[in-house]
Structure 1
């Protein structure tokens, strides 16, 4: 297997919100619908079985009417620490693993998001396609959500 670091894209954020709130934003369907997806997209939670082996599926509606489906299966869940899942974001990205890592820092939450790709080439292609801007926009929405609810 090739080098994990060369197959992983990461983003970090510090949210001015307690870890319990950030965790709820990630794990409760009514919250997920408020922030998941880049700016300008509306998200519908189609299924959300938040258990190891449970499936999730979200529909993201673009302003132009196109719909993207995101889905995956939960691999590992450690409350207030990490959520690891397989993930597909059709048609742009398929067969990746997403890792949401949470760390309490007083009343703030340090957050790391990793996307592990099957190959270095695919990772590079995803980065060139706008990974940082796309996911950056999602986490800007999450930050705004957790800091204002």
Structure 2
């Protein structure tokens, strides 16, 4: 039996959970800070509610556009988001992302877990992408 890889990243952000949650769930804000691997978000649609859907289109540095989307499974404002993650180029594989926001004084502990990834290579690609994104988020909300 093979185990599907997962990753967990944690970061203390110098912003209240409500500010971090808005940065993650408001399309205009999300487009401003999310730049994994130097990619730009060129389109984002978010219906942030249980069973709502989202679509994100990234333009990579080489000009190639890639699309990811999914469905929100759990939404707790300012505290938690759980959503599926499906790349358009591999719709047969659905992974899951959990974002937890825990208050820490005037700051927030962010914990991002991405589960059910296809293999170790995809896990490392996503680790790099999420790390880039969280680095940008940290600067954006500071």
The change in CA–CA distance for 1:79 and 1:66 in structure 2 (over 3 A counts) is same
1:140 and 2:139 matched = no
Q: Which residue in 1 is equivalent to 2:121? A: 125
In 2, are the aligned partners of 1:58 and 1:69 still within 8 Å (CA)? yes
1:100 and 2:117 matched = no
Looking at structure 2, the residues matched to 92 and 112 of structure 1 have their Cα atoms a distance apart, in angstroms, of: 26
Looking at structure 1, the residues matched to 116 and 22 of structure 2 have their Cα atoms a distance apart, in angstroms, of: 27
After superposition, residues 20-99 of structure 1 pair within 5 angstroms as 20-91=18-89, 94-99=93-98
What is the TM-score when the length of structure 2 is the normalising length?
A: 0.88
Aligned residues between the structures? 141
What is the TM-score when the length of structure 1 is the normalising length?
A: 0.84
Aligned-residue RMSD, C-alpha: 2.2
In 2, are the aligned partners of 1:9 and 1:123 still within 8 Å (CA)? no
Structure 2 alignment gaps of length 5 or more? none
